């Protein structure tokens, strides 16, 4: 069992069976506020309908666990393998991604029946695998996979509701955010040879994805990181300084993207009668200047940093700094804000609030080997033309994030809870 790198979390007291029940339940809890109609729609190609997420995560267990490992298991429906495979070429043909929002059937009720059927079978399997660490590892992978989809569920629900002219709220009873925050400070970190990455590619208890390994040496120069992320107020200065009108701050592809898409502010900002508003999971709110700016693309993060005379951190710089933090806390899913909040402590807070764009391209670590079999398609095949984000967001489950975690998205992506931490 390999110690988690860069955090000192002790082993969770709960068993794999308990984890399974908790994770599977949470997906359904997150969907509880939805109307049936909300489950069906794909508001853009990157978004999947909520019922698709519920079914796809279930398909993962059916396909990679139950069918090969539970004797006598019969698939719930012969076409669901076609409908709910996301991108696994090795598993066969699949429904086109951009047509996920055209499927009215199976109904939401049938998807929940599918979940119940698979969960019941999984419980049988979980009772048979005490001495089968490979199967335990695959189940753990399936749970982390579902946690990723829990985050996607909320990002996608937000997008679906925000594109509706009625601007409906996902929940009306979210906690009040902080009104004020503490000023950002610059924290200095020494350069030299450091070690980053997860020590071993394992699916067991101390879980990490294959793309976090191998642990390896990197050389950095001395650097400073901001203690907290860039705020809405700070970002608004960039907008008011004509940042979106001046190509000199932008990468060439960023500038053409801005022009083609008509970007003038982060996603979900809108100006009504001269005032800025912000669509949130709690509905349309007046823009809070102390909250971290969110839903910016890499292009915007990079342009802001250049305008501010700073830069984005590399993923190595971020991870080396995060590894100095003794405990993992922050505004994560469990806090229940479902929105970035102003910082009320001056400490360095690498986790939660917003995913932080780095200036590192998403590439294999030296010696990277994708996992064997179909699950090897999980991460490795996306290693080009994306940038790494670090630290988790206000909708990331706490047990899902860690110092070595590498999230990745294309440079124009804005619907994720992505923000900016400056370096220099």
Residue numbers at the binding site for a second copy (CB under 8 A): 35-41, 43, 79, 82-83, 87, 89-90, 95, 99, 101-108, 160-161, 163-166, 168, 193, 216-221, 247-248, 250-255, 298-299, 302, 359-361, 363-364, 366-367, 377, 381-385, 387, 411
Nearer to a second copy, 36 or 344 (CB): 36
Could you give the C-alpha distances from 199 to 64, 202, 304, 316, 324, in angstroms and in order?
25, 9, 34, 15, 17
Q: Find, among 183, 277, 176, 274, the residue nearest to 234 by Cα.
A: 183
Nearer to a second copy, 4 or 390 (CB): 390
- The nearest distance, CB 131 to a second copy, in angstroms, is 31
Nearer to a second copy, 121 or 360 (CB): 360
Going along 206-363, which residue ranges are E strands? 216-220, 223-226, 269-272, 275-280, 283-286, 355-361
- The nearest distance, CB 221 to a second copy, in angstroms, is 5
- The nearest distance, CB 83 to a second copy, in angstroms, is 6
Largest Cα–Cα separation, the chain: 66
C-alpha atoms less than 13 angstroms from C-alpha of 228 in its C-beta half-sphere? 24
Residue 217 phi/psi, 5° resolution?
Answer: -90, 140
- The nearest distance, CB 345 to a second copy, in angstroms, is 30
- The nearest distance, CB 105 to a second copy, in angstroms, is 5
**Segments in 66-107 forming alpha helices (H):** 67-69, 80-84
Give the other-Cβ count within 10 Å of 97's Cβ.
14
| Cβ neighbours for 105, distance < 8 A, ≥ 6 positions apart | none
Nearer to a second copy, 137 or 383 (CB): 383
- The nearest distance, CB 370 to a second copy, in angstroms, is 10
Nearer to a second copy, 228 or 282 (CB): 282
Could you give the C-alpha distances from 307 to 4, 229, 238, 288, 363, in angstroms and in order?
37, 16, 7, 22, 27
Nearer to a second copy, 238 or 249 (CB): 249
- The nearest distance, CB 58 to a second copy, in angstroms, is 17
| Cβ neighbours for 400, distance < 8 A, ≥ 6 positions apart | 144, 147, 148, 151, 392
Residue 404 phi/psi, 5° resolution?
Answer: -90, 0
Indicate the DSSP class of residue 99: G
- The nearest distance, CB 63 to a second copy, in angstroms, is 17
Nearer to a second copy, 175 or 367 (CB): 367
Nearer to a second copy, 67 or 386 (CB): 386
């Amino acid at each position: 069992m390999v110690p988690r790198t860069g955090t000192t979390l002790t082993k969770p007291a709960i068993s794999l069976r308990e984890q399974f029940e908790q994770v599977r339940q949470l997906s359904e809890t997150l969907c509880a506020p939805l109307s049936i109609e909300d489950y069906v729609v794909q508001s853009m190609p990157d978004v999947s309908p909520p019922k698709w997420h519920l079914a796809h995560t279930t398909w993962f267990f059916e396909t990679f666990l139950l069918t090969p490992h539970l004797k006598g298991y019969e698939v719930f429906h012969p076409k669901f393998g076609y409908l709910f495979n996301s991108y696994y070429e090795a598993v066969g043909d699949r429904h086109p991604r951009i047509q996920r929002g055209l499927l009215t059937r199976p109904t939401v009720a049938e998807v929940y029946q599918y979940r119940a059927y698979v969960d019941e079978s999984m419980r049988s399997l979980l009772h048979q695998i005490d001495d089968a660490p490979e199967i335990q590892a695959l189940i753990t992978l399936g749970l982390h996979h579902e946690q990723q989809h829990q985050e996607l569920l909320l990002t996608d629900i937000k997008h679906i509701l925000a594109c509706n002219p009625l601007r409906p709220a996902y929940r009306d009873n979210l906690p009040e955010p902080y009104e004020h925050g503490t000023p950002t400070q610059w924290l200095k970190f020494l350069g030299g040879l450091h070690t980053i990455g997860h020590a071993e590619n394992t699916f067991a208890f101390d879980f990490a994805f294959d793309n976090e390994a191998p642990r390896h040496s990197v050389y950095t120069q001395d650097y400073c990181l901001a203690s907290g992320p860039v705020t809405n107020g700070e970002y608004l200065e960039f907008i008011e300084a004509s940042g979106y009108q001046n190509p000199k701050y932008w990468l060439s592809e960023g500038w053409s993207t801005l022009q083609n898409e008509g970007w003038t502010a982060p996603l979900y900002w809108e100006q009504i009668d001269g005032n800025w508003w912000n669509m949130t999971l709690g509905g349309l709110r007046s823009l809070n200047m102390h909250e971290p700016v969110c839903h910016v693309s890499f292009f915007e993060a990079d342009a802001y940093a250049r305008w501010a005379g700073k830069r984005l951190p590399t993923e190595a710089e971020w991870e080396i700094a995060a590894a100095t933090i003794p405990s993992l806390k922050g505004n994560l899913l469990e806090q229940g804000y479902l929105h970035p909040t102003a910082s009320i402590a001056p400490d360095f807070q690498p986790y939660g609030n917003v995913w932080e764009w780095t200036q590192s391209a998403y590439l294999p670590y030296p010696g990277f080997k994708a996992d064997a079999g179909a699950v090897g398609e999980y991460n490795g095949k996306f290693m080009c033309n994306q940038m790494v984000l670090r630290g988790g967001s206000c909708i990331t489950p706490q047990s899902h994030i860690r110092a070595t975690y590498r999230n990745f998205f294309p440079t124009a992506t804005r619907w994720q809870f992505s923000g900016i931490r400056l370096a220099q």
